Amino acid sequence: MISIANISRLDLNLLVTFQCLMSERSVTRAAAVLHVTQGAVSSSLKRLREHFNDELFLRSSAGMVPTRRALELAPKVMEALTAVSAIVTRGPHFSVETSTRVFNIALSDDIESYLSARLVNEAKVRGLSVKFAFHQTNSLLWKAALADPDMDLVLCSEPKEFSSHYSSQVLFSSSYSCLYDGPRLNISSPITRDEYLLHDHVRVSFDGRRGFVDDLLEKEGIVRRVSASFTHFAGALATLVHGDVIATWPTFAALSFARIARLTVSPVPICVPAFRVFLIWEVERNADEQNQWLRNFIIDVTQALQHGSMTPP
């Protein structure tokens, strides 16, 4: 229930100052963004401190550092300001059936192999006119992707350095599977531990130098036999098709690439972790009608895939 009395005790413009300080971490820069004097920002901060009974921002050599209370308030303030902005901003109604909007989605190529064709096909099945542009990113670089004002959202596994400036939702969980040319290697599925350790592997990792499988085997005193390393999954596909090698990839990617190249998928014969794939967008787009539609569309398609009700593209 909304308390009018509580709201009336606080000048809502103070929340704008709070959000600006959270973004800029500087009274000087906040004043420039708000087109007011530094004294006005300091005065607003004083009133915010009195209202919330907390310092909120502490001066340091690195700028204005938010307190724990400020970090707790930040996502709620951003959500409130986003809702107010949506109310006062007038724009044309978004009709997904007739819009020719191109949605920009940043994702890693393992997720791309799993979802991109399904999104395109499902839009066609629904008779929609919207289009999609897919861009490359990963769990380390996703913030740089969202820094592009044209980027609508990001899909990646276990994003690093998450903050209150972003909203997220877990799309699904996965683990890993082996991928290889079974007839070529004369290995059926499931692959045995001895077969797994005996053959050469292809590695896919951000820096192309080391992966989690190397770490797992090293704990047992085993050095993985790696014949080639790649920084993206699609780059390793030709080597999997034409080489005597094994890959350990996210299960959804292994299944997708197996259909493309007629490869064999098998459980991994060592203990491997599970992980989550996230949908991420900027908090300020929470109430954006088009961004909401895109998020819901991706969630619908993903849930259908997870429940096995969608045929391969």
Reported as a single tens digit per residue, the pLDDT across 127-179 is 999 999 999 999 999 999 999 999 999 999 999 887 778 889 999 999 999 99
* Tokens, residue 138: 């990963």
pLDDT of 62: 80
* Tokens, residue 171: 């799309």
- Checking if the pLDDT of 313 tops 50, the result is no
What's the predicted TM-score (pTM) here?
A: 0.69
pLDDT of 310: 41
pLDDT average, residue stretch 106-115? 94
154-181 burial by CB neighbour count: b if 16+ within 10 A, else e? bbbbebeeeebbbbbeebeebebbbbbb
Reported as a single tens digit per residue, the pLDDT across 199-216 is 999 999 888 788 999 999
pLDDT of 106: 97
pLDDT of 19: 87
Reported as a single tens digit per residue, the pLDDT across 81-104 is 777 766 665 555 667 777 889 999
Distance CA 40, CA 5 (A): 25
Distance CA 260, CA 237 (A): 10
- Checking if the pLDDT of 79 tops 50, the result is yes
Q: Which domains does the chain have, with CATH numbers?
A: 4-88 (1.10.10.10), 102-174+275-306 (3.40.190.10), 176-267 (3.40.190.10)
Contact yes or no for 185/199 (Cβ under 8 A) = yes
Query: Collapsing DSSP states into helix, strand and coil, what is residue 225?
Result: coil
